[in-house]
Structures are given as C-alpha cells and as structure tokens.
Structure 1
Amino acid sequence: MSARKARAPTPPVPTDPLPPPLGTPAPRAHAAGIDVGDAAHWVCVAHTPDGSDTVREFPTHTPGLRQRVVWLRLCGVTTVAMEASGAYGHVLYLTLIEAGLAVLVAPPHFTRQIKGRPKTDKRDCQWIQRLHAHGLLPSVFRPDDATHTLRDYVRQRANLVRLSAQHVQRIQKALELMNLKLTTVLGDVTGVTGLKIIRAVVAGERDPHVLAALRDRRCKHTAAEIATALDGRYRPEHVTEVRLCLKMWDAYQDAIADLDRTIEGHLRAMRRSSPLPPLPKHTRVRGAKPHDVGFDARDAVYRVTGVDLTAIEGIDAVHALTLVSELGTDFTKWPTVKHFASWLGLCPNWRKTGGKVQSSRTRMGRNRAGHALRLAAWGLIRSRTYLGAYLRRQRSRLGAPKAVTATAHKLARVVYALMRHGTGYVKRTEAAFADQHRERQEKQLHRRAKELGFAVTRVDPPAVGDE
C-alpha cells in the first residue's frame, strides 16, 4: 500500500474580527436604527446599560412612542436613522425631533438588506443601525417647517384639482352618450360657455338653439355650429349623471377656493422682511381657467423668494408655487447645480461596466418639482423663444420624451441660478438659438475639414436680384 501524504494542519480561525480598512469612519457608539411599520416599530441600539438585548419592539401608538424615547435616552442614544416610509414614520420623526435627538431619514433603497440574507423586521433595524453607525446612510431632502406646511397645502390642492377633473371626464362621457358634441365646438367644457350650457341642460332645457344662445362672444364657433352639436338624444340616466357630477365638481371648486385662501395666508406669513422692488406688469397669455389659483400667486411667491420665477419662459404662477412648496428657498442644500439636477431626476443615470455604457436613462421616481418642470418645458413647444427653439430642435433629434427632459434640465439650471445666486433672468430670442446653432455647425465643419485635409472658404450668398 502506498502511504498517504500527510496533510498540513489547518490554521486556527481567528476569533477577533479583522481591523477595519483604512479610511473607514469610526463607528458611532450612540447611533440607533428603527424599522418603521404600521403596527410596530423595531429599534436597535449599540449597547444597553444593563447588558440586555439591544433590539426591542414598540407599538406605534402614542404611549409606545413615549416609551421608545425613554428607552433611547436610557441607552444614551443621540442620533437615530430610519427609512423614509411616508405617513407611517411622520409622527415618529416629529416625536424624536421634539425629544432632542438627531434624526436621519434615509432613502429606502439605501437601507435594503444584502441579497441572500433572510429579511425580517428585527434584522432590518439591526442593518439600519449598523449602516448609520458607520455613516453610510445619506439623508433625504426635508424642507424647513414653513415650507413643509406649504408643501402639504399645495399637494392637497393638486389632489383636489385631480379629483375634480375626474368628474369633468364623466360629464364629457355622459354628453357623448347623449350625442351632444359639446367637446368638438368648445375647447373646455368648464369654460364660460360650457358651464352655462351644462347648467341649462341640468335645469331641463332641451332646445339646441336656446342652448346655443348662451354662447360667449369670445367663442370661436358660431351659434349655428353649437346648435347643430347640441341636437342629441337626452336620456334621464345620463342627465342624472351630468347633474350629480356637476354638483361634485362645484363642491370641489368651493374646497379649492377655501384652500387657496389658506395658502395665501401662509405665504403672507412667509414673506421676507426686506423690501423688494415692485414686479413688472405681466401679460396674460391665456384666459382664466377654473383650476387657476384664486389669488395673485406670482406676487406672493415673489415676496417669499425675492426672485420672479414666472419671468422664465414656460413657468407660470402655478408652476412657481409648486416649485417653492417642494424645494423651499434655501438652495444651499444642493452644493452644485449638478446635484440639483440629479436630485430632480433630470440628468442621465449612468450604468457603466467594463468600459461600456449599459444604460443612461434618467432615474425613475415621483419628484413633483421635476414633474412641474417637465410640464413647463412641454408648454414651450410653440414658444418663439430660445428655450422653445431648443425644445423643437431636440424633439427632431431625440423624440418628444427626451426633448422634454432635456428642456426641463435647462429650466432647472435657470431656477437654481436664480434661487441660489439671485441672478436676474435674461430672456433670449429664437434668433439667438439659430445663431448659436449655426456657429456650432461652422466649428464642426472647420474641424472636420481640417481632419480630412481640406480648407473651408466662406462664400457670401448672392444678393437678391443678382444672377
């Protein structure tokens, strides 16, 4: 028999953990992590004074919040990390702030467990505590208290406008089922002419000529055309739907008007104490709409920010109000304009590996400020300005979605310059964009000709009438 070779002895496994790599921040001994839930919150601390378990479960009611604060103070915790969980963690955040603790609200995708490990609420709070102790969790953007209140008001108003629009859609469907082609002769059924006709139909009027006589003088279509469109089949179930939806729409308009008064009062309380020069007169580009703000939002936002955001093409009073409510007035929270554009989700999100770009699509997310800038950008599609020409140029090259994002990125850079540095906005014409585009093309042509060994000579076009 052949003798087996003797195996080398297995080295002992070290029991002490390896030292952290160079550059790793020292762990925070007084950091805690909380996994937020609907019925219970799991809390993990670094150590307890009596040596008991460092993880505890607390109920989410108010007495449970008080017990949590007492236990955190007993463990000597000074800073707490929790993931952004919407309404579930709102009261918890306020309770911890009032208790004098430093609270860091981290994005959920930064607090996820490592793939392959089991996931429970208890393990989640331990993982959050470990990441926070080493300073590896970034914080989400949180505005100041006054801006936070304004943001809630403006979001409530946007929800009311959205819900009221659903009833307008049902009214349009009921009119279509009765073959009343009101949408073909009116651009907006909630305008002056449309509301008069709909209220008359609900009141019992059926004569199309009498309904057409309610036409406003500014309506583009004639009374005869409107009378032809209103010759339909009135059925009681559809008239009832129009009546009930109109009633709900009116109720939403009253609620929006009530909320507008609240927003106006809050903006008045947020005004700057320093005097500001008066705003120049603004030329209205379209008629009033039912969902427009019921006060002078342009002047109110100007008194809060100190700059006129509506001077930027595409941004109206509603967009300016949305931007201020979502972003606040302190733009130093974004060190550079690139950080600001990245937070809005208006710049490429690079995914590159092995020297190859796998994807450069913009980051997905529901950023209301970025959405407002996209709406403002799309409103420039017929604008005879520099930004309008840029949007149309990009749409011909990249398509409408990418062109809107690119134009919204330009608007974001302008907004950042105005709010961060207080610079005035200088409007540029469509001819300026054409000249800039021509100059860029000439530079590219000269560079390409030089690479190929050619010389470019400028030839003036012949005068008109010369052969």
Structure 2
Amino acid sequence: FKKLRGMEQDVISMEIINPKAAGIDVGSRSHWAAVGQSEQDIKEYGVFNEDLFALADWFDLHGIKTIAMESTGTYWQSLYAVLLSRGFHVILCNGKFTKNIKGKKTDVKDCQWIQKLHSLGLLSGSFLPDGETEQLRTYCRHRSNLIHSSASTSKKMQKYLRLLNLRLDVVVKDVCGLTGLAIIQAICDGEKDPQKLASLRHGNCKRSEEEIAKALHSNNREDYLFALKQELDTYRYLQDKIAQCDLEIERKLSEIIGRDDNKKQHYIDPKVHKRVNKNTPKNIDLNLKSYQMFEGTDLLAIEGMSYSTVLALMSEVGIDGIKKFSTAKHFASWLRLAPNNKVSGGKVLSSRVPKGSNRLKIALRNAANAIGNLKESTPLRDFFHRINFRKGRVSAISATARKLAVIIWNMVVKGTPYINPEGYLFLDQKRKLGLVKRIKKQIDKFALTNEDLGIEIN
C-alpha cells in the first residue's frame, strides 16, 4: 500500500517481461531510440550506415537484448538488417498496436511508449519471411509492377489507335497479341494500306482479313502516330524487362531448390492441359518448381489454382513461412480472410472481414473467382455457389479464398493430399471427351460400320 494525501490507494504494478528492452521510433530522416523512461535514456540517430552502427553500439553499451520498432514504410529495413547482424532480437510491430499514447504526439514520447510496451511484453511481432523467400519476393513484386506498367501502356496504345480511327480493338481480342503487335508495328513503320495490314493476321485470329481491313482505315494524324510509336517502344522495353525478371526468378528458384536435397529429389509430370496465362513466366516450369519447393505437395491439383497463384505463394511466404502459423485459422487470419468478431455484453457487434490486402490474399481471391466461373461441378465450385446464393459474389469470393488458405495450410504443413471426389478436367480434356461423345452419337445415329469408317481390323 501507498499513502497519498491521507488516502490509502493500491499500487498496481505489471511484471517486466523483457528487462533489457529498447524501443525505436523509425523515421525518414532520423531514428529516436529509448532504452529506458528517463531523459538520458533517449537518443536520436541519423539514417546513414555509420549512424545505424553507432546506434547498435549504444544498445550494446546498455546491455540491450531485444528491440521493438514500428514497420514504417521501408525506412525500417536497413536498420532491421543491421540490428539482426549484431545479434539483437528485433520485433517488428504493426503501428496500430503502438498508437495509444495520451497527449501530444512526439518522437520522444513514441520511442518511450514503444520501449515501455515491449518491456512489459505487450507487443507481438509481425510475420517476416526468411531471407531467401524475401529475395524471391523482391523479384516477383518487381515483375508484377512491370506487368501493371505494361498493361497501362497497352491501354494508351488502344487510345491512340482509336484516335487514328484504327479500330483494331474491335476486330482483335488482344491488341498486344501476335496479330495486334504485327499490325501496330507495320503502322508505326509507315504502312497505310488496310489490305496489307490485314494480311499480317495470325492464323489463330478468328476474324478474316476482310473484316480486319474494314477497321484499318486511318485519318493519318501525325501527332497521334508519333505518340503510338512512343508507346509501342515503351511496351517492347517493358516486355524485355519482364523477360529479364523471369530469368532472375528462375535462377533464384533453382538456387533455393538445388541447395536442399529434400526439395530437389521430387519430380512430377507436366500438366499439359493446364491453361497458361499470357503473364505467366514462359521459361519456368512452375509445376515442377512448386512441387519441389513445397517438398512433394502438388498445389496445382486444386481446381482454380493457376501458376501465378502458386508463384505468389512461393514468393510471399514460402514453405517455412506457412509452417510458422500454428493452425490453419492463424494463417487465414493473417491473410485477413477470417471474420473479425467484436463481442460486447454477450452480443456480436460486428463480424466483418478486416480491411487490408496483401498480394497473396489478392492471388487467392483471384483463384476463388476462377473457381466460381467453373462450368463443371466440383466441391469448391458448389461451395462458392451456395455462398453466392445466400450472401452475394463478394462474400463468396472471400469465403472460398479462406477455404483455399485452409486447404493449402493442411497440404503443406500436415502433408494432406487434395482429393477431389468428383474429379476435375482441364479445358482440353473436356473438349476431347465432348468430341468423342459426339462422334459416338453420330456413329450410332447412322449405324456406321468399320468398313464405312475405313477401319481395318486384323
């Protein structure tokens, strides 16, 4: 007990969990660090490399063992790497868990508050992938950014084609396909004859040369033609950069797998019927790489899973990252695919899925959307349509993405194979079976014999 102004009051103290703890308020120009709550326990350091090592020396001087910091932008990454290399246990915290300080907000108060919370054991660290996965993630994210820039350039090309009265987008499915790029290149080289431009049509194009030629009568505006040439050069430049990224991704995957005997011993036959998206890396056998990376787990056996989804899974978390989550519910909650129940007074106030997305969540939602578009009945597709009927498509996508996350965790961590009891056929397989069925029907209809079909039986 403690007496204060003649009144007896209880003093409530909290147990110190981390006695040798420090807190850092990360900034763009300087970092404020605190090793205690007194004024002399706070210092400001710059962001240059020598400043970061001086900060680590100051922590060593005070016998600091563990450090907490906020994940502010990308400013924390260099400091985080330096502190890890010096042997400190570093916890990276979400900023929303450290912003409960009362009164005027300052850098000094922030670092003191973080230090106090961390010493009391009230801060939990955010998920961070291992070093190899982080490097692979850098390549994949950069490649994704290049693809977005390339898509933006493609839209600009369509804009200038319309302004030139060249309605290539009407007669060609993709202006950046084989037919579209050949025609655009010829236009930029000065060709104006619609018939000659239409003769560049690729054999896979559904429209005839006559239909394409009708859409290629230009008004020959020089300013629009100049802008179109610039955008075409930009598009080809970005495609070259994407190809270079693909080589780096393939090299990094081979390096990770080649270093682990348990990974490189696995082999799986190619999935010849699996559809390949135009943005999928062309020089990488992602079917084999993913099978080896996840040590014999065939994630592409799940209907709706594409190569880009598997690549996102390998680069964002990796096999070691998935195993860090103790249960499938923890994994789904980290992805923000599980409902965030808020209960007060025994009443559920809210059960919405938390806001926010990462690239893996977006990839799983895209896979869930693809499952919803399947024509063939499968358990996941039927689940999607049940939720869609009750709550709408947006909720169905989130629920199916959460189910995919649970299936993936169980496959990777527990080694549970995915078995679709009703089977699943790829598009080419369905076309083949449909063709065989129609042929048999015609044979029965016209009572054709082996002699009529020219089949000799020995």
User: TM-score, normalised to structure 2's length?
Assistant: 0.85
Distance of 1:10 and 1:281 partners within structure 2: 78
Matched, 1:273 2:267: no
1:349 pairs with 329, 340, 350, which one? 340
Matched, 1:283 2:283: no
- Go from structure 1 to structure 2 and tell me whether the alpha carbon gap of 1:130 and 1:196 turns closer, same or farther (over 3 Å shift): same
* Alignment match, 1:407: 400
Matched, 1:111 2:116: no
Q: After TM superposition, give the deviation of residue 288 of structure 1 in Å.
A: 5.6
The 3-state SS of whatever aligns with 1:378 is helix
**Equivalent residues of 1:191, 1:290 under 8 A apart:** no
Distance of 1:56 and 1:260 partners within structure 2: 45
* Alignment match, 1:66: 53
1:296 pairs with 282, 285, 299, which one? 285
User: Which letter does structure 2 place at the counterpart of 1:381?
Assistant: G
Q: Deviations over 1:107-160 (max 9, x none)?
A: 11111133x422100000000001100111111001111111111111111111
The 3-state SS of whatever aligns with 2:44 is strand
The 3-state SS of whatever aligns with 2:33 is strand
Q: Deviations over 1:306-356 (max 9, x none)?
A: 222222112111210111111111222111111110000111112232333
User: Which letter does structure 1 place at the counterpart of 2:100?
Assistant: Q
- Go from structure 1 to structure 2 and tell me whether the alpha carbon gap of 1:107 and 1:10 turns closer, same or farther (over 3 Å shift): closer
- Go from structure 1 to structure 2 and tell me whether the alpha carbon gap of 1:428 and 1:228 turns closer, same or farther (over 3 Å shift): farther
**Equivalent residues of 2:32, 2:108 under 8 A apart:** yes
Distance of 2:208 and 2:43 partners within structure 1: 74
- The total of aligned residue pairs comes to 415
User: Which letter does structure 2 place at the counterpart of 1:62?
Assistant: N
- Go from structure 1 to structure 2 and tell me whether the alpha carbon gap of 1:218 and 1:105 turns closer, same or farther (over 3 Å shift): same
User: Which letter does structure 1 place at the counterpart of 2:344?
Assistant: T
Superposed, 1:186-205 pairs within 5 Å as 186-205=172-191
* Alignment match, 2:435: none
Matched, 1:264 2:255: no
* Alignment match, 2:32: 42
Superposed, 1:324-343 pairs within 5 Å as 324-330=314-320, 331-343=322-334
**Equivalent residues of 1:190, 1:290 under 8 A apart:** no
Q: After TM superposition, give the deviation of residue 10 of structure 1 in Å.
A: 8.7
Distance of 1:291 and 1:423 partners within structure 2: 27
- Go from structure 1 to structure 2 and tell me whether the alpha carbon gap of 1:10 and 1:244 turns closer, same or farther (over 3 Å shift): closer
Q: Deviations over 1:229-258 (max 9, x none)?
A: 223423111111111111011111111111
**Equivalent residues of 2:336, 2:357 under 8 A apart:** no
Superposed, 1:170-249 pairs within 5 Å as 170-249=156-235
Q: After TM superposition, give the deviation of residue 430 of structure 1 in Å.
A: 8.3
Superposed, 1:92-107 pairs within 5 Å as 92-107=79-94
- Go from structure 1 to structure 2 and tell me whether the alpha carbon gap of 1:228 and 1:388 turns closer, same or farther (over 3 Å shift): farther
Q: After TM superposition, give the deviation of residue 25 of structure 1 in Å.
A: 4.2
* Alignment match, 2:449: none
Q: After TM superposition, give the deviation of residue 58 of structure 1 in Å.
A: 1.0
Q: Deviations over 1:196-242 (max 9, x none)?
A: 11111111112222222211221122222222222342311111111
- Go from structure 1 to structure 2 and tell me whether the alpha carbon gap of 1:187 and 1:133 turns closer, same or farther (over 3 Å shift): same
Distance of 2:147 and 2:250 partners within structure 1: 17
User: TM-score, normalised to structure 1's length?
Assistant: 0.84
Distance of 1:302 and 1:209 partners within structure 2: 49
Superposed, 1:300-379 pairs within 5 Å as 300-306=289-295, 307-330=297-320, 331-379=322-370
The 3-state SS of whatever aligns with 1:270 is helix
Matched, 1:381 2:372: yes
Please give the root-mean-square deviation of Cα atoms over the aligned residues, in Å: 2.2
* Alignment match, 1:398: 391
- Go from structure 1 to structure 2 and tell me whether the alpha carbon gap of 1:358 and 1:232 turns closer, same or farther (over 3 Å shift): farther
**Equivalent residues of 1:30, 1:46 under 8 A apart:** no
The 3-state SS of whatever aligns with 1:86 is coil
Q: Which piece of structure 1 moves more, 362-371 or 289-298?
A: 289-298
**Equivalent residues of 1:349, 1:362 under 8 A apart:** yes
1:136 pairs with 105, 109, 122, which one? 122
Taking every aligned residue pair, what percent have the same amino acid on both sides? 38
**Equivalent residues of 2:365, 2:398 under 8 A apart:** yes
The 3-state SS of whatever aligns with 1:379 is helix
* Alignment match, 1:464: none
* Alignment match, 2:442: none
* Alignment match, 2:19: 29
The 3-state SS of whatever aligns with 1:33 is strand
Q: After TM superposition, give the deviation of residue 407 of structure 1 in Å.
A: 1.2
Q: After TM superposition, give the deviation of residue 279 of structure 1 in Å.
A: 1.3
- Go from structure 1 to structure 2 and tell me whether the alpha carbon gap of 1:293 and 1:92 turns closer, same or farther (over 3 Å shift): farther
Distance of 1:410 and 1:220 partners within structure 2: 38
Distance of 1:288 and 1:11 partners within structure 2: 76
User: Which letter does structure 2 place at the counterpart of 1:39?
Assistant: R
* Alignment match, 2:109: 123
Distance of 2:277 and 2:104 partners within structure 1: 57
* Alignment match, 1:420: 413
User: Which letter does structure 1 place at the counterpart of 2:361?
Assistant: G
Q: After TM superposition, give the deviation of residue 80 of structure 1 in Å.
A: 0.4
Distance of 2:71 and 2:7 partners within structure 1: 40
Q: Which ranges of structure 2 fall in alignment gaps of 5 or more residues?
A: 425-458
- Go from structure 1 to structure 2 and tell me whether the alpha carbon gap of 1:31 and 1:288 turns closer, same or farther (over 3 Å shift): closer
Q: Deviations over 1:19-64 (max 9, x none)?
A: 32xxx543422000000001111111137xxx97111111111121
Distance of 1:105 and 1:370 partners within structure 2: 21
**Equivalent residues of 1:31, 1:45 under 8 A apart:** yes
Q: After TM superposition, give the deviation of residue 382 of structure 1 in Å.
A: 2.6
- Go from structure 1 to structure 2 and tell me whether the alpha carbon gap of 1:149 and 1:363 turns closer, same or farther (over 3 Å shift): same
1:250 pairs with 236, 239, 262, which one? 236
Q: Which ranges of structure 1 fall in alignment gaps of 5 or more residues?
A: 1-8, 432-467
**Equivalent residues of 1:113, 1:119 under 8 A apart:** no
Distance of 1:147 and 1:171 partners within structure 2: 36
